Amino acid sequence: MSIDLRAIEARIREGIVTTTGYEGPLASDQSLRLAAVFDSYNVIELVVYLEQVFGVRIESDDMVESTFESINSLMSFIASKQRAEAAAA
């Protein structure tokens, strides 16, 4: 299975705008927490969005600060979930 990281990044950015309304500039490695992009409600909305868009299941154990630290960390997380789910299929 080939993972298209650019497509993942684009969908994550779209999800951030959709779930938070944040439209400011964000570097891929910029801290989303320090940029004040999320509150606790927005994180849950983003989780639902990511599950729907990428077809992955995000468990409560995945809900750690490091997963949602930056766009890069979210990209890595989604790519690893997709690889794991493809391997299990």
Tell me the per-residue pLDDT of 25-57, one tens digit each, with 9 for 90 and over: 999 999 988 888 888 888 899 999 999 999 999
The total number of structural domains in the chain stands at 1
Task: Label each residue of the chain as H, E or C.
Answer: CCCCHHHHHHHHHHHHHHHHCCCCCCCCCCCCCCCCCCCHHHHHHHHHHHHHHHCCCCCHHHCCCCCCCCHHHHHHHHHHHHHHHHHHC
Confidence of residue 12 (pLDDT cuts 50, 70, 90): very high
Domain that holds residue 48: 5-88
Query: What CATH number has the domain bearing residue 28?
Result: 1.10.1200.10
Tell me the whole-structure pTM to 2 decimals.
0.90
Q: What is the pLDDT of residue 34?
A: 83
**Alpha carbons 41 and 38: distance in angstroms, whole number:** 8
Phi and psi angles of residue 20, each rounded to the nearest 5 degrees, phi first = -115, -20
